[in-house]
Amino acid sequence: MPHYRKLVGEKCYLSPPAPEDAEAWAAWENDLEVTIPLGDEAYTPSSPERTREMITDALKRGDHVFTIIDLATEQAIGRGMLFGVDLVNRGAMLGIVIGAKAYWGHGYGVDATRLLLEYAFTLLNLNSVMLGVFAFNERAIACYRRVGFREIGRRRQARIIGGQKHDAILMDILAEEFVPRRVIL
């Protein structure tokens, strides 16, 4: 499976997705433990064929979508993206998931989030990156805070799962608040 080291961190790197990544992506998208914290992905059945189409279409459009690859094993462990990119006001939304559960809690999310921000602020010259996260996803919130995101708002009872109501938290980070690990020349 061809992967390219677009941006390399300490534990992982970002690669443009390959159609062969569809098997792993679909497996993650059908695992409720992975997708319930993400949102709508939990309610959408996925297949490798549908996911392969999505990856191919994203590549054709030039979307800012990446597969997250473990440096040590070359295994696809997640995906990350910048979407809603606004080049006039220099902002975007960030989405990330470490789908391979064996990699949870080992710093891969922090490393991959930093790489996505480095891409956003250094290569795309953005000024602001925002994300949404459900209040029950404490591991993700800790990751985002570690990288420098700040809470900027909250939608109360925005998600109802199994009769339980959960807030959605909005967080953002500005280019001036982010310190890249390297200068890309």
Q: How confident is the model at residue 61 (pLDDT cuts 50, 70, 90)?
A: very high
- Supply the pTM of this predicted model: 0.94
Domain with 105, as residue range(s), is 7-177
Q: Yes or no: say if 6 and 14 are a contact pair by the CB < 8 Å rule.
A: yes
In a domain, 2, yes or no: no
In a domain, 109, yes or no: yes
What pLDDT score does 183 carry?
54
In a domain, 107, yes or no: yes
Q: How many domains does the chain have?
A: 1
The string of pLDDT tens digits covering residues 111-135 is: 999 999 999 999 999 999 999 999 9
- Strands 128-134 and 76-86, by their bridges, are unpaired
Mean pLDDT along residues 41-54: 85
Cα distances from 102 to residues 65, 76, 133, in angstroms, run 22, 12, 21
Q: Yes or no: say if 114 and 129 are a contact pair by the CB < 8 Å rule.
A: no
In a domain, 98, yes or no: yes
Q: Yes or no: say if 10 and 22 are a contact pair by the CB < 8 Å rule.
A: no
CATH classification at residue 23: 3.40.630.30
Burial class (CB in 10 A: 0-12, 13-18, 19+), 46: middle
In a domain, 83, yes or no: yes
Could you give the residue numbers annotated as active site?
144
